[in-house]
Amino acid sequence: MVSSVQSLTIESWTLFPFGILLIAARIISRRILLGSFKKLQIDDWLMLFVAVTFTGVIVSVNQVSHNLSNYLPPGAAEKFTPEEHDNAIYGSKFVMVLEEFMLANTWLCKACLLILYHQMTIGLKQNKLVKIVGGYCVFGYVLVQILYLGVWCRPIQQYWQVPVDNSQCASYYHHLITSAVFNITSDLMMIYIPLPILIKARLPLKRKIVLCGVFSLGILVILSAILNRYYNFTEPYGSLIYLNWYVGEAATSVFVANVPHLWPLLSRIFALGAFNSLRRTTGNSSGNGDSSGKGFYGKGSSTQKSSRTRPYDQHGYIRSESEERIASAGAGPGAGRTWPLPDSKDGAALEMGPLDNRSMGYTATAAGGNEKANEHRDGIVRTVQIRQYSNEA
């Protein structure tokens, strides 16, 4: 029969390569999307550091399971041999190291997701909520660290003293409560950010279900965190099951933070195409017999880059016609203004969309050709999404 230590070893080292491979897949996917590793964004670099913290969690969990600690029944430490005493001190130090790696892993994954949500909501009222949640996460992490290292157990050497004078230095009871409160509440806030946007978005039902499913994976992280604390508080001395949930929570956080970025890689491997309808929509626009593109841009030529060739923004995040519909709720002061096309002789104009106040570019809609506007009043107006990028980007 497999012991609890062997079971934990098998589980942790089985989940570890999946987590690391997922991080590597995310970086490769972003490389495909952005065109160069030099263009990786800050959340991508943070995810590389998550690979370090995730490794630290796995190593520390196994060290704790193979050694004693100062979390012992009353009077047990006095019966230790000198070798067992030293082993308990060594294991207690790794308990403290494990907790630090776990905190770093959890909050770095939150940071990566919040950066993604920030890019998704630029120009929307939800962007303010992202900043509020980000501030709450920073405050929570700093407070948890202050309490953990400077308040709950003093002096700090008590964390690896055998036996301890203060039970908090062995049970971590107060620390586990405060960290769980900030961890779970911030996760609940983060789930609230994308779901209302996706639910209200004018997207095909299947695509909406898929996106809502991806961004609802945070529920699994919350469940893992709750079970982690439950087994911490209810299991008797010597039980290692709480370590299984440390591994489960850390691995789930890594999975959830990376899954939203994998589509470019999956698309390349399985020839799935872009996960948006922009390319299909613009293609249909030109499928009416005018393949030259004059129906989009008017008779004159334009130097703007069409979204048909780049369905992503300068940050490497998907920008589709569907997302523009989502963003229409956050139209800025520039929405609705029109400018003539530079080369146009027939009065075709660019109407600035609600995203024109974004940095590094804008989205515009061009009513096609030399047809009169009143001819489209009751029909289908052919439009094209245009995004202009600065050469300094």
For residue 273, how many C-alpha atoms fall within 13 Å in the half-sphere facing its CB? 6
Q: What is the pLDDT of residue 273?
A: 57
Q: What is the pLDDT of residue 275?
A: 53
Q: What is the pLDDT of residue 34?
A: 86
**CA–CA dist 102, 106 (Å, integer):** 6
Query: By C-alpha distance, which of 359, 350, 353, 351 is closest to 315?
Result: 359
Amino acid found at 348: A
**CA–CA dist 370, 377 (Å, integer):** 15
Q: Yes or no: say if 317 and 120 are a contact pair by the CB < 8 Å rule.
A: yes
Residue 3, SS3 per DSSP: coil
Query: What is the residue-level pLDDT of the chain in tens, covering all 393 positions?
Result: 557 888 899 999 999 999 999 999 999 989 888 888 889 899 999 999 999 999 999 999 999 998 888 888 888 888 888 898 999 999 999 999 999 999 999 999 999 999 999 988 888 888 999 999 999 999 999 999 999 999 999 999 999 998 888 889 998 999 999 999 999 999 999 988 888 887 777 778 877 787 788 778 888 889 989 998 998 888 877 788 889 999 999 999 999 999 888 877 777 776 665 555 433 333 343 334 333 333 322 333 333 343 344 444 544 444 444 344 444 434 444 443 334 444 444 444 444 444 434 344 434 444 444 433 333 333 344 444 444 444 444
Q: What is the pLDDT of residue 295?
A: 31
**CA–CA dist 59, 335 (Å, integer):** 54
- The two three-digit tokens of residue 187, written as one number: 């996760």
Q: What is the pLDDT of residue 272?
A: 63
Q: What is the pLDDT of residue 359?
A: 40
Does pTM surpass 0.85?
no
Q: What is the pLDDT of residue 332?
A: 42
Q: What is the pLDDT of residue 56?
A: 96
Q: What is the pLDDT of residue 276?
A: 52
φ, ψ of residue 284 to 5 degrees: the values are -65, -30
Q: What is the pLDDT of residue 271?
A: 64
Query: By C-alpha distance, which of 293, 264, 330 is closest to 124?
Result: 330
